[in-house]
Structure 1
């Protein structure tokens, strides 16, 4: 039986899942820290790239940064806007997967920590914005992805019960939260979350090195 049997709702994370953007965040973090005369190793910056704003703030403040969360968000997003508008692309096979899901009548939602000023330009530039039925951010639900709120809200917005939804995520905590909410989980490999590769492969319902891995299953479902 296909992993997609009985699945009518498809909930996608953005950064590191649908798009190759975490390298951009590593560059942005480097610029912010250099501006504040704080030096971090390449490994530390690599780790921070896949973190949430809250996690990044805690980590950077432990290194001497004196920013509020709002200041960190504002400066980071300002640096990111041009990149999201012009220089970030979908992961291999992502567009094809979205097209197949849409053609078969599936409902598609985006659940992301990135604000609209970032997710809308990158999705429009890559010609997939119109495939989404709903968009929800961690700010809008008031909880990060340690909690299932964002996935449950996404399911509600597309009108599909949680147990008929599959969540695509590149970070371990997202996979855990979505699984705890009774959803099917698909872990998507990203080099910035590679330290959790083994664990995600063990606990997710399916592990994808590429969206091309699931194209035959989607077409035959």
Structure 2
């Protein structure tokens, strides 16, 4: 694998930030409110969708009476404070961002989370200004399983897709970035552990932590 990428594009949830517990709790509260036990396949299915896609999928799968707007508003109330004040970076993220910045690499975030979540959590952790561009799936036609959001991020960075390295923690994200013509590293997160073998097979490489990619660690 080449090591002279002009840009690095990061997923947010499960890659840059440790948000697994927050979304698991949202899933639990939402489903249990309707008398439905949460299941790992549901959490995995919505992990790479936009808010609207997740709401529409949930309503379709379980036959909820809420509109997508009502369900999205309920979820947003649950998570906004957590993202703004409590969710932390995953280990060695700050050090890796410093390492890339020192090398003059352009940085972007391509995420399923909307701006009202990714902005506050990155600012609260003091890393928002590391990034040259942001793209979220709400701005494109299709979710993380497709190349759209990654291509948007590359366009905003002003680089070719083939010059981008992507870090993703889910199989749909890996597939979408590969479809965009980018090199992809799968990074471990507990939310995707059931698909770790497939991620290793389809990504260009995998790592457990950004510590593995830092010099002298």
**Do the two structures share a fold, i.e. TM-score over 0.5?**
yes
| Distance across 2 between alignment mates of 1:105 and 1:128 | 16
Contact 1:169–1:175 (CA<8 Å) still a contact in 2?
A: yes
Q: TM-score, normalised by structure 1?
A: 0.89
Contact 1:48–1:56 (CA<8 Å) still a contact in 2?
A: no
Counterpart position of 2:135: 136
Counterpart position of 1:40: 37
Q: Give 3-state SS (helix, strand or coil) of 2:62's partner.
A: coil
Could you list the per-position Cα deviations for residues 161-210 of structure 1 after superposition, in whole angstroms to 9, with x for gaps in the alignment? Answer: 11110111111011112112211101011111111100111111110111
Contact 2:55–2:72 (CA<8 Å) still a contact in 1?
A: no
| Distance across 1 between alignment mates of 2:154 and 2:2 | 16
Shift of 1:118: 0.6
Counterpart position of 2:173: 174
Q: How does 1:96-111 map to 2 (within 5 A)?
A: 96-111=95-110
Aligned residues: 215
| Distance across 2 between alignment mates of 1:163 and 1:45 | 33
Q: TM-score, normalised by structure 2?
A: 0.91
Structure 1 unmatched ranges of 5 or more:
none
Structure 2 unmatched ranges of 5 or more:
none
| Distance across 2 between alignment mates of 1:63 and 1:146 | 22
The alignment yields a C-alpha RMSD, in angstroms, of 2.1
Contact 2:169–2:189 (CA<8 Å) still a contact in 1?
A: yes
- Say whether residues 1:15 and 2:8 are aligned partners: no
Shift of 1:60: 5.3
| Distance across 1 between alignment mates of 2:138 and 2:14 | 19
| Distance across 1 between alignment mates of 2:48 and 2:178 | 20
